[in-house]
Structure 1
Amino acid sequence: MSFKALKLKSELLRALPQQLQTPTDIQESAIPPALKHQDILALAQTGSGKTYAFGLPTLNSIQPNSSVLHTLIIVPTRELATQVSHALDPIAQPLSIRLVTLIGGQDRSEQERELASQPHIAIATPGRLLDLLKDEALDVSNLKSLILDEADRLLDMGFWPDIQSILSKLPNQRQTSLFSATFPEELEQIANTLLFKPVKVIAHQENSVVSTVQETLFLVNKGSKAQALIALLQRNTWKQVLVFIGAKDNADALVKKLVKAKIKAAALHGNKSQEERSQTLDSFKCKDVDVLIATDVMARGIHIESLPTVVNYDLPTNAETYVHRVGRTARAGNTGRALSLVSHSETAYLEAIRKLTQKELLTTSLDGFPVTDKPASSDTTERKRPPKDKQANRRTAKKKSITQFKAKPNRAKLNKDKPNNMK
């Protein structure tokens, strides 16, 4: 099928990038109902073209001579908002369609000036969007379309209160579309309250990883992970490796170890300013940095052209996050590799990932790194120190003189010996 067969406007077809020859599965399935203004729940693997799947019908529906906000696209992270803008703006400009990006960490007054130019599409993160709506700096009274990208993240408890507040300020009569690579069952009930007779579009097996990703899992000692990662990087001389790690502080510490091993590395996480995050990501994209250590702020929707390698330094505690992380490679039909360093303490996380993806995901040994850690014991009869003993140890550590170690009187016995009128 061609894009022309999807009945998009001729001027929009002329504005498409040259490399966009034929629609992907999700584009072929989602664009027709979107053009009919139907509500959509769309599930598609990362890197499958979701941005154009909702972006092209949006651009197709806008009248350039209009002076009202037509579409609101909400995303969970600043980086994803910027990416969506960069993907759609080159097509929007020839059509005289105006976009604005509304994210935190940037000058709000500048964003308000852009809003004064009456954009047709706003791409926003929840926090900044809600602030603008509360201050009535953004007019959504004529909104025709609402799109939630990475909808599973936006509907979970972290973002849901803000999303509810935003929804309360939007017109009830609108088209609503939810797009994501994963969608846990428990969120479907919430989704159904937002959608009216939605068309459910599934472009792949739910919660799956694209077949062009080569997944390898190494079983290593928990304390050997840093050296194991360094060994893998040195043995393979990979360029552009995205490494996912669980904690912000650990990201900075790991970068120091890699730099000491003469590996060009940088960290990207939520404690960095927006300017630092943008500069670090640009350096990685330009290959000035070989290894990027990132927390899951990077897992949602970030596109790095032909990224060859992703490493899970820590397995994510949420199985769906694994799918998003691994989806940073092998995008748009390319091949890629995803490596995971797994310790015995992460067995429960691995089992959850196996269950979600319905893949065996066997672990293998890494040459030079024998596993000496023991699996966590499941023997509930194993003797454990009673909590009161631990408390006694802590009290003992605080005592500073010999008199403090004298035995205290038995309060129960004293109470028993008291006359009734003193009890």
Structure 2
Amino acid sequence: YDVIVQAQSGTGKTKTFILAVLQQLDVDCKDYQALILVPTRELAQRIHRVVLALGEYINVTCHACTGGVNVREDMKCLEANVQVVVSISGRIYDMLKRSALRSENIKMFIFDKADELLSRGFNEQIYDVFTMMPENVQVILLSITMLADVLEVATKFMNNPVKILFNREEQTLEDIRQFYVTALSIGRSGRFDRKGAPINVVTNNDRHILRDIEQFYNAQIQEMPLDGPDLI
């Protein structure tokens, strides 16, 4: 079955779907069997480490195609016929076009953090990758939110998927106190799935986005008070 899974960060989603992938691998077949598509190089590298750690005792082989290295290095690693490939969409599309990755034995195609992946405008490229997959490939889509782009992918790529979803009011954990800090400008910060007290840095131009988030999740995010550090 194709599967859509909605899960919050920090709930063990990554390990759960990796265990499901490992369970379905044919350990005697050293060809490509699972392709995991992710939005960022950092996430690809982290999932690569988790696959190798959880699959240590079945001697699973895995490679992360992340860009940032010479294309020939990725091609050389893929020539070794790894069983699990983790990649960002641009690099795996390049590998498929170059025939460095053969897709005929791939039986699992996983979109991790699909909402982030699709929000980056890679829809057409992802569709091109999907068209190179076998007709009977199992599609697994994991997402924190069920946005229109995610549902569109489900309509195009999936065949009557099993849906594991939760109610919108359950998407914000009651035990997490959220604050925002007004700033002139911000850069990239943060890492995936880190536990702790989230602090959202918001500019005046971001306030409407913050209100949209509050409305969507039925949650209230307060401006951080001066004694904010004492509350964390």
Q: Which TM-score bucket, shorter chain as reference?
A: 0.7 to 0.9
Q: Tell me how far 1:364 sits from its aligned partner.
A: 5.2
Once residues 74 and 169 of structure 2 are traced to their aligned partners in structure 1, the CA distance between those partners, rounded to angstroms, is: 37
Can you list the C-alpha shifts for 1:252-300, whole angstroms capped at 9, x where unaligned? xxxxxxxxxxxxxxxxxxxxxxxxxxxxxxxxxxxxxxxxxx35xx56x
Distance 2:100 2:30 in 1: 15
Deviation at 1:157, TM superposition (A): 6.0
For residues 284-321 of structure 1, the C-alpha deviation after alignment (integer angstroms, 9 at most, x for no partner) is: xxxxxxxxxx35xx56xx34xxxxxxxxxxxxxxxxxx
Gaps of 5+ in 1: 1-37, 226-244, 246-250, 252-293, 304-327, 330-335, 368-423
> 1:338, CA displacement in angstroms?
1.9
User: 1:106 and 1:211, CA in 2 relative to 1: closer, same or farther beyond 3 A?
Assistant: farther
Amino acid at match of 1:100: H
Q: Tell me whether 1:62 sits opposite 2:47 in the alignment.
A: no
Counterparts in 2 of 1:15-414, with a 5 A limit? Answer: 38-156=1-119, 158-203=121-166, 205=168, 208-218=171-181, 220=182, 222-223=183-184, 245=186, 251=187, 294-295=188-189, 302-303=192-193, 328-329=194-195, 336-342=196-202, 344-363=204-223, 365-366=225-226
Q: How far apart in 2 are the matches of 1:64 and 1:79?
A: 27
Partner Cα separation in structure 1 for residue 87 and residue 168 of structure 2:
29
Structure 1's consecutive aligned runs of 4 or more residues displaced over 6 angstroms after TM superposition are none
Secondary structure of the corresponding residue to residue 99 of structure 2: coil
User: Deviation per CA, 1:180-236, whole angstroms, max 9, x where unpaired?
Assistant: 112213531332221111111125647823334321234x4x55x8xxxxxxxxxxx
Measured in 1, the distance between the counterparts of 2:136 and 2:219 equals 42
Letter in 2 for 1:153: E
The alpha carbon displacement at 1:40 in A equals 0.6
Distance 2:45 2:31 in 1: 22
Could you tell me how far apart the structure 2 residues matched to 1:185 and 1:207 are? 19
Alpha-carbon offset, residue 78 of structure 1: 0.5
Instruction: Tell me how far apart the structure 1 counterparts of residues 114 and 149 of structure 2 sit (CA, whole Å).
Output: 13
Is residue 43–residue 179 contact of structure 1 (8 Å, CA) maintained in 2? yes
The CA deviation string for residues 37-60 of structure 1, in whole angstroms up to 9 with x for no partner, is x11110000111111221111101
Q: Which has the higher contact order (CA 8 A, sep 6+)?
A: 2
1:86-140 Cα distance to aligned partner (Å, 9 max, x none): 1110121210221111110013222222222211111111111011111111111
Question: What 5-or-longer segments of structure 2 have no aligned partner?
Answer: 228-232
Indicate the SS of the match to 1:42. strand
Residues 346 and 60 of structure 1: is their aligned pair in 2 closer, same or farther, counting only changes over 3 Å?
Answer: closer
Compared CA separation, residues 152 and 363, structure 1 to 2 (3 A): same
User: Aligned-residue CA RMSD in angstroms?
Assistant: 2.3
Counterparts of 1:126 and 1:114, CA distance in 2: 17
Between the two proteins, the alignment pairs up a number of residues equal to: 227
Q: Counterpart amino acid of 1:191? A: A
Q: Normalised by the size of structure 1, how large is the TM-score? A: 0.50
- Aligned pair in 2 of structure 1 residues 64, 43: CA closer, same or farther (>3 Å)? same
Indicate the SS of the match to 2:8: coil
Percentage of matched positions with identical amino acids = 26
